[in-house]
């Protein structure tokens, strides 16, 4: 089974440190706009695909995390966008905790295995309580991106040299992959 790299899903240009959210529909519209900015995809069609998928099941994973997602025509690989929401929004999580961390995942239509691998990678990353706490406290896009992409901030914290918001992103490499459901990406 091919692996999914977080690096292939998210770039700093697709990270929003503070999205002023009116409601879930607004969150989806803004994240779709950001995610497809470098594509020829139709914004309204992609929003409809995501919102229709959300009607069939919940995007709320719990503990303030949501992963709206859909398969869409016109993509050749999965793509994502991440935002911290203000105020938090109700994505229908079973624990009823409003979402303040949202990761939109779009995958190629007709490739369910790629979509599931990418979704598993994102879910594993965001369900980690320490990662979620660092995403909430990171001071800027660069720091958020570092936490999403790498465990280098963990190593830095272990030796007492810094916090995710103070790391030099230029020195990081991304070896984070999901090759099985047991492996943290």
Question: How much is the pTM?
Answer: 0.83
Please indicate whether residue 69 is annotated as part of the active site.
yes
Catalytic hit among 26, 29, 69, 96: 69
Q: Which domains does the chain have, with CATH numbers?
A: 7-110 (3.40.930.10), 128-167 (no CATH)
> Is cis: bond before 87, omega within 30 of 0?
yes
**Tokens coding 116:** 């599931």
Q: What is the DSSP string of 53-74?
A: HHHHS--EEETTEE--EEEETT
Question: What's the confidence (pLDDT) of residue 2?
Answer: 53
pLDDT in tens, the chain (185 residues): 455 678 889 999 999 999 999 999 999 999 999 999 999 999 999 999 999 999 988 999 999 999 999 999 999 999 999 999 999 999 999 999 999 999 999 999 999 999 999 999 999 999 999 999 999 999 999 999 999 998 876 765 554 434 434 333 333 333 333 333 233 34
């Amino acid at each position: 089974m091919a692996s999914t790299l977080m690096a292939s899903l998210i770039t700093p240009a697709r990270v929003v440190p503070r999205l002023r959210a009116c409601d879930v529909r607004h969150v989806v519209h803004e994240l779709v706009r950001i995610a497809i900015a470098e594509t020829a995809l139709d914004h309204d069609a992609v929003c409809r695909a995501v919102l229709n998928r959300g009607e069939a099941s919940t995007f709320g994973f719990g503990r303030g995390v949501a992963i709206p997602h859909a398969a869409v025509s016109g993509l050749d690989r999965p793509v994502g966008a991440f935002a911290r929401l203000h105020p938090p929004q109700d994505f229908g999580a079973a624990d009823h905790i409003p979402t303040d961390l949202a990761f939109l995942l779009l995958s190629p239509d007709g490739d369910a295995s790629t979509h599931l691998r990418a979704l598993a990678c994102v879910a594993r990353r965001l369900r980690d309580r320490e990662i979620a706490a660092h995403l909430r406290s990171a001071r800027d896009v660069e720091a958020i991106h570092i936490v999403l992409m790498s465990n280098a901030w963990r190593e830095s914290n272990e030796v007492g040299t810094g916090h995710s918001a103070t790391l030099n992103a230029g020195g990081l490499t991304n070896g984070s992959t999901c090759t099985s459901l047991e492996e943290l990406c």
